[in-house]
Amino acid sequence: MIVLDANQLRNVLPGKPALRLLEAAAQRSGHTLSTTDVVIREVARQRHDELTAAIAQLTKAQRDFNKIAPPAKKLAGGPFDKLTTGFVDEEVERFKEALHQAFRVLETIPEDALEALLREADHAPPCLKGVEGRDASIWLTTLRASRSPEAAPDGKVLPTILLSEDGAFCGADDRLAPSLLQDVPEGADVLLRRTVIAVMDTLGFQTQWTDVSAITDSPEFQEAVVAAVALVGGPILLGQLGTETMTPPRLERSRGQRCQGEGTTLTSVSGEWTFQVIVGEPAPDPAETRPLGYTVRVDGEALVTQDASGSFTDISFSAHVVRTSRR
C-alpha cells in the first residue's frame, strides 16, 4: 500500500496524467493507492480556499476593469452570475467524491487520534516541535495499515510506503527518521519516499537524474513558480500593491529526476529561484506613488508532466520557503 500525504497527493489529483502513470505502476506491482481521512479534509479545504480566492480575484479584476472602461464596454453583473450560490461547496463535494474514487481512504480510528494529540503535547516523534498532530495521525494510520501488508502478483509481501515530503518523517538520508523506526510493528516493513519519482523508482520504473534547464527556462514553469509563491508570499506578490514589474525567476540551483511510461514523462525538479518585484508604494495621492523593489527567493519543488510530444500537461509547484527582502 502507498499512503499519500497532502503535499504529494496534490501532484496526482484526479484527472492529472501523473495519477494515471502512478496508478499503472502501483497496480503492476500490487500496491493500492491510498490516503487518510485527515488528508482528504485538508486537500478539500485547500480546494475550497483556491476556488474562493479565484472568484475573489476575478471579481476584483472585473471591478478594476469597470473603473477604467468606457460605459459601453463595462461588464454588467458578476462574473459568476450563472453559478448557484453554493457553487464552491458543490464543487468541493464533487472533488471529494473524485478523491474517494481514486484513492482508498484510511480511517483514523479514535485511539490513533488520541495518541496523535498526546504525541503533540509530549513533543514525541513525529511531533518534535509540538505542532504536528496531523502528521502523527497520518503516521499512526500508516502503521496500522502496515499490519496487513499487500502482496505482489508473485506472492511476495510488499512494504507499506508513506509518500510525503514532510520533514517530520524524514531522516538525514531522505529515508524514515530513526526516531520513528521503533514504532514500526514487528514483522512490518514501512518505507518513506519523498516524491512521486522516488516511488516510481521503488516500484521498478527506470529513473534518471537529468538536466532540467529546458524545463526551468520555459515560460510555463516560471509562471508556475510565481503563481505558487503568490499563494504564500503576501500582498506584494498577490498584486494588492499594484505590481508594475516582475523579472522572470532566475534559477540559483536545481536538480531533476525523470521517469517515463504510458506515454507520459514525469520530472521532479527541486531548487532555489530568485526574482525581482517592483511595486508602487501606496500613497494618499496616487501621483506620489513611489516604486519599491523587492527580491524574492523561493526554495521549492515541482512535479512536471509532459506528454509524448514533450508538451507540458501539468506543472505542480510547491513553495517550501519564501524569503522577501527590500532591495
- Average of per-residue pLDDT values in the chain: 86
Q: Which residue has the cell 490516503?
A: 35
Per-residue cell: 181: 523506526
pTM assigned to the model: 0.82
Query: Does residue 43 register a pLDDT over 80?
Result: yes
Half-sphere exposure of 163 (CA within 13 A, CB side): 29
Bridge partners of 170?
176
Lowest mean pLDDT among 55-59, 98-102, 242-246: 242-246
Better-predicted residue by pLDDT, 167 or 282:
167
Query: Does residue 220 register a pLDDT over 50?
Result: yes
- Give the pLDDT band (50/70/90) at residue 247: low
Q: What is the pLDDT at residue 34?
A: 98
Query: Does residue 118 register a pLDDT over 60?
Result: yes
Q: Dump the DSSP string for 194-242.
A: -SHHHHHHHTT--EEE---HHHHTSHHHHHHHHHHHHHHS-HHHHTTT-
Better-predicted residue by pLDDT, 174 or 193:
193
Query: Does residue 243 register a pLDDT over 60?
Result: no
Strand duo 243-246 + 190-193: pairing: unpaired
What is the per-residue pLDDT across 74-107, written as a single tens digit (0 to 9) for each? 887 665 655 656 889 999 999 999 999 999 999 9
Mean pLDDT of 117-140: 93
Better-predicted residue by pLDDT, 285 or 8:
8
- Give the pLDDT band (50/70/90) at residue 238: very low
Q: What is the pLDDT at residue 94?
A: 96
Mean pLDDT of 190-216: 92
